[in-house]
Amino acid sequence: MATEDTRRPAATAVQDDPVTAQPLAVTGVAAPEADEEDQQDELYEHFNLTVDRGQAMLRIDKFLTNRLESTSRNRIQTAADSGNIIVNGKAVKASYKVKPGDVISIVLPYPRRRLEIIPEDIPLNIVYEDDHLMVIDKPAGMVVHPGHGNYSGTLVNALTYYLQGLELFSEGDMRAGLVHRIDKDTSGLLVIAKDERTHAKLARQFFDHTIQRRYLALVWGNLPEDEGTITGHIGRSVRDRLKMYVYPDGDAGKHAVTHYKVLKRYGYVTLAECRLETGRTHQIRVHMEWLGHPLFNDARYGGDRILKGTTFTKYKQFITNCFTLLPRQALHAKSLGFTHPATGKHLHFKAPLPQDLKQVLEKWDTYITNRPDFED
């Protein structure tokens, strides 16, 4: 029986640093997890490994279990069953025998984070549900998962109550079922996995950028083109750790791409549809701010004051009224499309406009219709 050569490291695992996007090279173990605030919105890990020339043939599930710290063999096998282990460009099964020089890529949902999760009977707006997954329309103001200062009232608390009979939601995992997330004050669609295999397969789709996500965003000013693409690495701001920052030269942060299309121009603000190619923290918010068009009433990125418009009192009162109706950034995850991990069928969902954003858009419609009256 082949035995592992222990005279030298058999592989180097490389994981992107969530803050700098520089490779973290570690021998035989996975890179340590970054602070919660430094992670991207897509909740998966990606490792690249090259098998050392001194490595004897060994089942890949055992090989990876030995190399990736705190990663169980069952988790590795689930990844293989889901097609998430790629060797030399091809998906392999857990029984595949690694060979010297093999280049391995593996995508895993983030490891479980143990925490005492209190099940809470919080109403959920369930758009779709079957035995494998759910699609939720999250209201603005709800935190997706527990964290500093938010240990109750989160979506995970609600899911732990609603799905308390399922294994995935019975072990106090603070990210149970989550493959991606949206900000507390952003409304809209999220897909939730109900089992490990579905979780792994959805993670792969996010990694491969085959998930279709579109957002509605109301931004300050007139966007320069009817359609455009914003490309700029996103990382934590060195001046304010609560904010993200665009590093245009790619010297820090992670590659990020946002496509936008103008839906309606109101003169001083623009309604746009944004399509995410990548899923970085605050991506649309920070990309639009970098373009010079912060989201309407986005306090973190400077959109909570009058940036465009007149000096007339009526206009100032109009903006104040809009901010009162919509006390958050004007961002809504309106549509979500993906391939069902079990059936292979393409699913696509749309979420209606939340009442607060709908009312503000109606006010802007009235404003441009009666604009002379506001400028008396």
Residue-wise pLDDT tens digits, 244-297: 999 988 788 889 999 999 999 999 999 999 999 998 999 999 999 999 999 999
Please say if the pLDDT value at position 99 is more than 70: yes
Cβ proximity of 304 and 318 under 8 Å: no
Please say if the pLDDT value at position 43 is more than 80: no
Q: What confidence tens digit (pLDDT) does each residue in 197-207 have?
A: 999 999 899 98
Question: Where in the sequence numbering do the catalytic residues fall?
Answer: 183
Q: How far is CA 257 from the centre of its chain?
A: 13
Cα separation, 14 vs 373, whole angstroms: 61
Cα separation, 139 vs 143, whole angstroms: 9
Q: What confidence tens digit (pLDDT) does each residue in 119-131 have?
A: 899 999 999 999 9
- For residue 338 the two structure tokens come to 């993906």
- For residue 258 the two structure tokens come to 């946002």
The predicted model scores a pTM of 0.76
Residues 6+ apart with CB under 8 A from 244: 234, 235, 236, 237, 280, 281, 282, 283, 285, 286
Please say if the pLDDT value at position 74 is more than 50: yes
Query: In degrees to the nearest 10, what's the CA dihedral of 320, 326, 329, 334?
Result: -140
Cβ proximity of 321 and 350 under 8 Å: no
What would you report as the CA-atom Rg of the chain, rounded to the nearest whole angstrom?
A: 23
